[in-house]
Amino acid sequence: MKALKTLAAALAAATMLVQPIAASAGELKFWTWRAEDKAVYLDFFKDFNVKNPDVKITFEAFEPQNYPTVLSTAMAGDKGPDVMMVRAYGAFEALAKPGYLLELNESNVPGITKFPEASLKGETLRSDGKIYAVPFSTQTMLVIYNTELFAKAGVKPPETWDELVEVCKKLKAAGITPFANGTATAWQNETIVSALLSSQLGKQFEADIVSGKADFTDKRFVDALGRLNDLAKADYLAPSFSGIDYPTMQQLFSSGQAAMFAGGSFELAPFLKANPALKMDVFASPVLKKGDERLVGLYLDGGFAVNAKSANKADGIKLVNYFASKQFGDKFANTLGNLSPVPGVQFTDPMLGKVAELNKQNMSYLMLVHFRYQEPSGSVLLQSGVQKMLAGKATPAETGAEITKGIATYYAPFKK
């Protein structure tokens, strides 16, 4: 028995040792999934400390894939950070809904309502309409192209879909793979739809989907998928595209083996890093006929939130106020190459400026913004649906019907 007691005592002592010490006034724990940005963040904190010299911030980063799990586990056990990066939309709601995050409004973060509506939507809980995080960057779905390969084939960035098909034809004739895109990595089947088809779908389609006037069997959606399918059938995607995964796609484009990459603005920095000599530019998804509105797909990446149970809320609120300032926005955009939604941010990088310009005409990155709240998420359905369609195993109409059927299991407007 004595041995047992000793053991118990030792166990208790060990548990006490691993108990974290709650942050006291003047100390903030900051969590993120961006380990690679640590140096820049330490620099941000220095800026923050100019006006708030008494606050000591510790930076902790976690692996992106596991971040939501780590964070929600910590929050559920009252061991979370004081200030943290949170994702947007569904993943954000998983944290906000149980009440882990502090509500932000004009009284504690003056100016927050001046942020672009599209970015605030990502950090607003749909059930109470309140904001819980300061948005930090948006991502844009568009087409990135290699200007040298375009010049070599004698083609210009297309405006209409027919022009795009013509461009692909000429590139192919010049021995250049038109698109680096492949379908082996599931989520790349969602990005390609938004990057290439947004202008054809249009804002009205998005509004109709949200109001329930239309579902994914709508002609606009099915026809757009059909045109994407024709691109694949004409061999304008990567060779053996069904086996081409995301890293290979990136390699094909950054090494100059393919002329276009339909994807996210977050690819720009890695492309340049992989090949600093790469000459590239961007264009928004082509329109069906001249005069139609040209759109990119847009979504919010995430935001900065304060723990509702933090022992040091006052300093936490000061920090997110700094994150909402133009001083931070400018530096965040121009050192990390991100599209900060802070009102009035100036982009020094011309490419970033161009993407910001394209962002003015946008529709949502549809499934993430509207249908990533429940299972099966619209994203999962679209990804596997498009993957299957491009493999020749389903027609565009069947794909639209399958997506509608999946979402209808929880989305009332689709239940007919």
Partner 1 sequence: MADLEWPVGRRIWVATLIVPPLAFMTAFVVMPILSAFVYAFYHWEGLKRVDFVGLKNFTDVLLHEPWAPVTWRAFSHNVMVFVVLMLIQNGVGFLLAYALSRQLPGHRFHRVAVFLPVILSSVIVALVWKQFLHPVFGLFNKVLSLAGFGTFTTPWLGLSETALWALTLVNAWHWVGFPTLVFLAGIQRIPPDIIEAGRIDGVNEWQLVSKIIWPLVAPSATVTFILLFIGAFNWFELPYLMAGVEGSPYGSTDVLGLYFYRTAFGNQSSGAQDFGHGSALAVMMFLFVAVISAIWTVRLRRREIEIA
94 is a contact residue toward partner 1 (CB under 8 A): yes
> Shortest distance, CB of residue 2 to partner 1, whole angstroms?
7
> Shortest distance, CB of residue 64 to partner 1, whole angstroms?
8
Q: Are 238 and 249 in contact (CB under 8 A)?
A: yes
Q: Pick the binder of partner 1 from 140, 364, 379, 404 (CB under 8 A).
A: 379
Q: What is the CA radius of gyration of the chain?
A: 24
375 is a contact residue toward partner 1 (CB under 8 A): yes
Residue (of 221, 206, 172, 143) closest to 386 by Cα position: 221
Residue (of 294, 311, 272) closest to 141 by Cα position: 294
Helix axes 219-233, 161-173, angle to 10 degrees: 10
The token pair that represents 256 in the structure block: 């100059």
Q: Are 311 and 22 in contact (CB under 8 A)?
A: yes
Nearer of residues 6 and 147 to partner 1, judged by Cβ: 6
- What phi and psi, each to the nearest 5 degrees, are found at residue 255? -90, 5
75 is a contact residue toward partner 1 (CB under 8 A): yes
The number of C-alpha atoms within 13 Å of 47 and in the hemisphere containing its C-beta is: 18
Nearer of residues 34 and 97 to partner 1, judged by Cβ: 97
Q: Are 103 and 130 in contact (CB under 8 A)?
A: yes
The number of C-alpha atoms within 13 Å of 167 and in the hemisphere containing its C-beta is: 23
Task: Kindly indicate which of the ranges 146-154, 210-218, 317-325, 376-384 contains the residues binding partner 1, using the contact rule CB under 8 A.
Answer: 376-384
> Shortest distance, CB of residue 204 to partner 1, whole angstroms?
26
Q: Pick the binder of partner 1 from 11, 35, 42, 314 (CB under 8 A).
A: 11
384 is a contact residue toward partner 1 (CB under 8 A): yes
Local structure of residue 123 (DSSP, 8 states)? T
25 is a contact residue toward partner 1 (CB under 8 A): no
Site for partner 1 in 164-193 (CB under 8 A): 182-187, 190
x/- binding map, residues 203-242, to partner 1, per CB under 8 A? -----------------------------------xxxxx
278 is a contact residue toward partner 1 (CB under 8 A): no
The token pair that represents 377 in the structure block: 């998420």
List of residues 6+ apart from 77 with CB closer than 8 A:
none
313 is a contact residue toward partner 1 (CB under 8 A): no
x/- binding map, residues 97-116, to partner 1, per CB under 8 A? xx------------------
Task: Kindly indicate which of the ranges 22-30, 62-70, 125-133, 262-270 contains the residues binding partner 1, using the contact rule CB under 8 A.
Answer: 62-70
Q: Are 282 and 302 in contact (CB under 8 A)?
A: no
Query: Chain centroid to CA 320: how far?
Result: 21
x/- binding map, residues 238-277, to partner 1, per CB under 8 A? xxxxxxx---x-----------------------------
> Shortest distance, CB of residue 286 to partner 1, whole angstroms?
26
Task: Kindly indicate which of the ranges 2-10, 52-60, 106-114, 284-292 contains the residues binding partner 1, using the contact rule CB under 8 A.
Answer: 2-10
300 is a contact residue toward partner 1 (CB under 8 A): no
Cα–Cα–Cα angle for 255, 260, 264, rounded to 5 degrees: 95
For residues 321 and 396, what is the distance between their CA atoms, to the nearest angstrom? 47
Bridge partners of 146, per DSSP, are: 280
For residues 109 and 324, what is the distance between their CA atoms, to the nearest angstrom? 8
346 is a contact residue toward partner 1 (CB under 8 A): no
Instruction: Return residues touching partner 1 (CB under 8 A).
Output: 2-4, 7, 11, 65, 68-69, 72-73, 75-76, 87, 89-95, 97-98, 182-187, 190, 238-244, 248, 372-377, 379-380, 383-385, 387-388, 391, 393, 406, 409
